[in-house]
Copies of this chain bind each other. A is one copy, B any other.
């Protein structure tokens, strides 16, 4: 029987060319006292986007304060700095200008400010849940994480080497502005990483435990196929508006909850990856996912042959031969796809050290205190075996 589920995607999306020029008018509706404009290292500043945003705010007489410097795998330390700044400046609205890292950092800051009695890292550790949050929005510049519509927030504590995500409806943005042109400057490598991340958000929902989710499954297959297709098009033609647009919209739908309705969602491959880029911050999230994917797929598919065969058929169009043959062919096609967009399919080329695999498996299983869920539950030995199979 289809599981009960809740579906809630309140984020108002303003999609298309020049939509960021409305940011002042859009924020004005929330009557903010002061806005924190949160951004990354260089690109928003260099491209002139940040100036565009602030002049839109100026035009509407909206006060703001700036905080840049968010890195890939956003840091707890900057979140803490942001919280202090917001308190000092009496900020009540957070605007993220960037991709998933900036948005996640903004979400965590909004939660930290609104719940002053709780240490913000406790949200990531699952010790506490935010009870309130600030109003918040984003101008998206990267199609990948899907954070613009998701309920999730992933923060890295570089002191402990931990990268932890938490979900909450309070993590949903009030609005997201998505102009595909703002992603033209995203390089081939990051575009490839985005294509992996987007599709994986829905692939993992698809392989989460569940039954009779026919509508969800059909929509999920559509989103996965389009994520692959548009990702490749963007990789080949970075300035193709329609390709960038479809990749961007796929990114939002792939992770907003739609493609997992009625399934017991567990982002298992993400759990593997979080340990990788947590330990090696130079590794891009999407690359880490691609590197571990096929080892995972080949290890677990036998636990639900029918489900994996459906995936082979409806996502990769493979029907011929027996079911297992079709599945293995589809997994290989997905590997080939990754290679075609210059994504890794093993861990060694990414600089992961073989002697670290046990440590990764230990962290991933929280020192053997948790198993990863799915049609096949994965304990420490399974997790280690998958890391090893993914190695070279």
Residue positions of A touching B, CB distance < 8 A? 1-10, 12-19, 180, 211-212, 214-216, 218-219, 221-223, 225-226, 229-230, 241-242, 245-246, 249-250, 253, 258, 261-262
**Alpha-carbon distance between A175 and B218 when the two chains are bound, in angstroms:** 25
Closest to A251 in B: B215
CA of A321 to CA of B229, assembled, Å: 27
Does A12 lie within 8 Å of B1, measured CB to CB? no
Q: Residue A222 contacts which of B10, B218, B241, B242 (CB distance < 8 angstroms)?
A: B218
Tell whether A5 pairs with B10 under 8 Å between CB atoms, given A221-B222, A249-B215, A249-B261: no
Select from chain B the residue with minimum beta-carbon distance to A17. Answer: B4
26 A-B contact pairs sorted by A residue (CB < 8 Å): A1-B241, A1-B242, A2-B242, A3-B16, A4-B14, A4-B15, A4-B17, A4-B18, A4-B19, A5-B16, A6-B12, A6-B15, A8-B12, A9-B9, A15-B261, A211-B242, A212-B242, A214-B229, A214-B246, A215-B230, A215-B249, A215-B253, A218-B226, A219-B219, A249-B261, A258-B258
A180: nearest chain-B partner, CB-CB: B2
In the complex, besides A2-B180, A6-B12, 20 extra interface pairs with C-beta distance below 8 angstroms are: A4-B18, A4-B19, A5-B13, A5-B16, A6-B14, A6-B15, A8-B12, A10-B10, A10-B12, A15-B261, A214-B230, A214-B242, A215-B230, A215-B246, A215-B250, A218-B223, A219-B253, A221-B222, A245-B262, A258-B258
Give the residue of B2, B10, B17, B250 whose beta carbon is less than 8 angstroms from that of A16: B2
Residue of B nearest to A1 (CB): B241
Partner of A8, one of B5, B13, B222: B13
Bound-state CA distance A250–B216 (Å) is: 9
Q: Which chain B positions have C-beta within 8 A of A15?
A: 4-7, 261-262
The residue in chain B whose Cβ has the minimal distance to the Cβ of A179 is B4
Residues of B within 8 A of A14 (CB): 4, 6
Which residue of chain B has its CB nearest to the CB of A8?
B12
Cα-based distance from A226 to B222 in the complex (angstroms): 13
* In contact, B214 and A223 (Cβ under 8 angstroms): no
Q: Which residues of B have CB within 8 Å of A211?
A: 242
Smallest beta-carbon distance A229→chain B, Å: 7
CA distance A23 to B8 in the complex (A): 16
A135 to B365, CA, bound (A): 45
How far, in angstroms, from A235 to B158 measured CA to CA in the complex?
57
* A229–B102 alpha-carbon span in the complex (Å): 42
* Complex Cα spacing A230 to B213, Å: 11
Q: How far does the Cβ of A6 sit from chain B's closest Cβ, in whole Å?
A: 6
A247, chain B: closest CB distance, angstroms: 9
Which residues of chain B have C-beta atoms less than 8 A from A250's C-beta? 215
